[in-house]
Chains A and B, each alone.
Chain A
Amino acid sequence: MIIKRFGFGLLTLFAISLLITVGIEFLAGDVCTEMLGQMAHPDTVAACRAELNLDRPVHIRYAEWFWNLLHGDMGISLANRREVSELISKRIGNTLFLAGMSALISVPLAIGLGVLAALYRNTAFDRVISITTLSAISVPEFFVAYILMAVLAVNFQIFPAISNVDSFMGFFERVKVSALPVLTLTLVVLAHMMRMTRASIVNLLASPYIEMAKLKGIRPARIIIWHALPNAWAPIIQVVILNLAWLVVGVVIVEVVFVYPGLGYLMVDSVLFRDMPMVRGTAMVFAATYVLLNLLADILSIFANPRLRHRG
């Protein structure tokens, strides 16, 4: 079953890469006529197409691109003639740092708060948390980002408003500079994860074995942590990983807000410049992370739930 799921994930990735290539081919028209203008001499256009490898049919170019991709080569950026894979690998560490820090803070906090909200459900504490998280879910990321920036960077001047990290920074300096984007991402994913943790525990509280535990006179906190939580792991894992996958996409806007030199910023820039090899490369990285994380969620929930493990 795991192998089957894995195979499906790989197939999806392959289909996505095909779709992106064909889509770009169909929609973008001719890059060369666009770059050189309508009045360019036919010879110049032909030379440009030969240089960019555009003079061969689509399926051969796709096969070539795919073959090169397997060898870690993603072509050359149209905007500044540098290797796409080099630019991406330079930026991807920054983005992973951002996403990783946010995950490290938000996941334990979300599960803890979710358990607390389930324990004190229908009290003022629960209601305050529920309203705060509901509003955090429904507002755009940049709203949260700018509020944080206005309060923490301008009013109190604790953190810098713009996070231009570079590779020469030490760990703590880097944490301080990227504190605001990390905080924004944390707040946005925290809300959703916490709500789902609370919901999946509260759902279980109606089951007969919890009733039994209650009748035995076990303390509510113990019931939730020892009796309800182990059965709630599967949905919680699912939600945590889906949110990590969301984090990968959420970084795009947050990186733009804080001018953080990550992959998302790179992608938006190359979209604005219509630098297709770059768009294709970054899009593939984002899509692959997303698909792989979803795959991981499925596999982990199979492990967390013994009943799924033995089903065909």
Chain B
Amino acid sequence: MSFFKAIGRLPWSARIGLLILLLFALCILFAPWIAPYGESQIVGDVWEPIGGTFLFGTDQIGRDLLSRLVYGARNTISLALLTTALAFLVGGLLGFLAATMRGWVDQLLSRFVDIIISIPTLIFALIVLSAVGTSIPVLISVIGLVYAMPVYRIARAVAMDIEIMDYVEVARLRGEGLWWIMRREILPNALTPLAAEFGLRFCFVFLLISGLSFLGLGLQPPLADWGAMVRGNADGIAWGFYHGLVPASCIALLTISVNLLVDWLVNKASGLREGQ
């Protein structure tokens, strides 16, 4: 019951965000059962009208757009989640390390991050992808590493605040190792601020991935991917076939609902801090 009570206490904006995210989560988990047709199955004519036999019509080569959307949710969102997780793993670990060890490790890592961060992310991703070519592991590691940089900065700042606490000093004097301090003293206390950050970074990663696949550098066909679907169907817009706007709205819907939830999280966290 307490779960439903907690939802009842949410502001309406967070409730809408949560509802939409649940919907997408269902698509990710049960894609083959929800989608009426196969991922790359050609079922009709090119650009059949929206709302006819097919709920969202068909795409530029006659595949059911709804099915593509459902599978696209699975591919695009899980790719972005994996990438964000990698960014937080690498960035968080290095950030904690820099904050606990200080000295030259901190200096070296921080200056390196300063340089990488001064290259715009999209440009950086374009350079690396042009050199290595596109494949799923490359995409995940490149974008993950690019976004590990801002995560490093935040993790380091958060950990710096914790590192000066007395209990960390006590653990040091007790003779605990570096890894123990990072895992048992710093991580639990840094988790809440980093959680809100995760949502925000997920949006950036998601937008970058959609942007890249829009440019033809993301997931390769016949895999369904929202960004690539926008590009593929966009030619129709000039003739009044608005099918390309459907996957584009899905991208917008997802980022807006994540933002609504993050807004609520941040408000809640800062409200708690004021109450202390």
| Residues in A lying within 8 Å of B, measured CB to CB | 12, 15-16, 19-20, 23-24, 27-28, 134-135, 137-143, 146-147, 149-150, 153-154, 161-162, 245-246, 248-249, 252-253, 256-257, 267-268, 270-272, 274, 276, 279-280, 283, 286-287, 290-291, 294
Contact = CB atoms under 8 A, between A and B. Distances in A.
Interface in B233-255: 234, 237-240, 242, 244-245, 248-249, 251-252, 255
A150 B237 contact: yes
Interface in B212-263: 214-217, 227, 230, 234, 237-240, 242, 244-245, 248-249, 251-252, 255-256, 259
A97 B252 CA distance: 28
Which of A12, A140, A153, A287 has the largest number of chain B CB atoms within 10 A? A140
Interface of B: 114-116, 118-123, 126-133, 203, 207, 210-211, 214-217, 227, 230, 234, 237-240, 242, 244-245, 248-249, 251-252, 255-256, 259
Given A28-B132, A248-B120, A290-B123, 20 more contacts: A24-B127, A27-B128, A134-B256, A134-B259, A139-B252, A140-B255, A143-B249, A146-B248, A149-B237, A149-B238, A245-B120, A252-B122, A253-B122, A256-B214, A267-B123, A270-B130, A286-B120, A287-B123, A290-B118, A294-B118
Contacts of B239: 154
Nearest to A139: B252
A16 B119 contact: yes
B115 A276 contact: no
Given A134-B259, A146-B237, A253-B214, A290 B119 contact: yes
A276 B234 CA distance: 28
Nearest to A26: B131
Contact of B214 (A20, A142, A246): A142
Contacts of A283: 123, 126-127
Nearest to A252: B122
Which 6 A-B residue pairings sit nearest by Cβ, starting from the closest?
A139-B252, A27-B131, A271-B130, A143-B248, A249-B120, A28-B131
